[in-house]
Amino acid sequence: MSALKRIENTAWLRGNSAGCRPRFRERRSCWRLVLLGPPGVGKGTQSQLLKQRLGACHLSTGDLFRAACSRVGCDPTPAMQEAKNYMRRGQLVPDSTVWDMVRERSECLHCRVGFLLDGFPRTLPQAEQLQKFLEGAMLPLSAVVEYKMPLDEIIKRLRGRRVCETCNAVFHVTSHPPKVEGVCNECGGRLYQRPDDCPASISVRMEAYRKSTSPLIEYYEDLGLLTSIDADGTADQVFARTMGALVPQARRVG
């Protein structure tokens, strides 16, 4: 993993934006995107591709909680311990804990290169809090991208996922295998299977998505921000579809 990637991650994952240096220094268009979609549909994978193309920072609340829960050398706060238990079971972390974590990192939402919010917001109260914050700060969203795919295909993606414990790079045992089994191509770190990718947690996560997150589709449709993308096909095909939908949308909003 490059030093710059580590610095960007530090700002979001550790809440320390003092040393944040976005990758793109020259002035480019500033994209502020929310990525929506069921667990495992490929939001994290698309975020990496979008980040390379658009230069915006990838802000994942799942990565943020995993980093906070696994930090070596400091005891997790009671709120973090509680968050860890919710995550292991596949349940959503309470809105107040999520918003506290995001608010502590609100500098990342002001970033001049924009952001890709992945896994946040996930409930209507979270979406309303975010919208209020962004309106107050005059930071309008460019678009909300909803990824869609049949459930049985999503489950195959989740069951085969492997993640680097050091740099969070994401692999898949068949569609995107590492060069050496169990070892990250990017940094040589150890690959592991997320504890919430077990069958019991997957069904709880899918139900949480259906019940709590899918209402956001209508919320963002009403705000005129929603773009729906078919997430079937290779990561590059999905990325091409996403860019094909975003560019005209960007022209519409100016």
Q: What is the DSSP code string of 78-146?
A: HHHHHHHHHHHHTPPPPHHHHHHHHHHTGGGGG-TTEEEEES---SHHHHHHHHHHHHHTT----EEEE
Closest distance to ligand AP5 from the beta carbon of 25 (Å): 28
Closest distance to ligand AP5 from the beta carbon of 95 (Å): 7
Q: Does 109 bind ligand AP5 (CB under 6 A)?
A: no
**Measured from the CB atom, is 26 or 42 closer to ligand AP5?**
42
Helices then strands, counting H and E runs in the chain, come out as 10, 8
Residue choice 36, 44, 168, 206 for contact with ligand AP5 (CB under 6 A): 44
Which letter does DSSP use for residue 148 in this model?
Answer: E
Q: Does 238 bind ligand AP5 (CB under 6 A)?
A: yes
Residue choice 42, 55, 114, 189 for contact with ligand AP5 (CB under 6 A): 42
Residue choice 67, 86, 186, 214 for contact with ligand AP5 (CB under 6 A): 86
**Measured from the CB atom, is 99 or 221 closer to ligand AP5?**
99
- Only one of the segments 25-33, 58-66, 184-192, 218-226 lies at the binding site for ligand AP5 (rule: CB under 6 A); that segment is 58-66
Residue choice 54, 170, 191, 229 for contact with ligand AP5 (CB under 6 A): 170
Length of the chain as a residue count: 254
Concerning whether 211 is annotated as a catalytic residue, the answer is no
Q: Does 216 bind ligand AP5 (CB under 6 A)?
A: no
Concerning whether 43 is annotated as a catalytic residue, the answer is yes
- Give the distance, in angstroms, between the CA of residue 175 and the centroid of all CA atoms in the same chain: 20
101: tokens are 């974590």
> In 3D, which of 224, 45, 232, 231 has the Cα closest to residue 146?
231
Concerning whether 194 is annotated as a catalytic residue, the answer is yes
Task: Give how far Cα 200 sits from Cα of 75, 88, 90, 93, 195, Å.
Answer: 28, 10, 8, 17, 10
Active site residues: 43, 122, 161, 194, 205
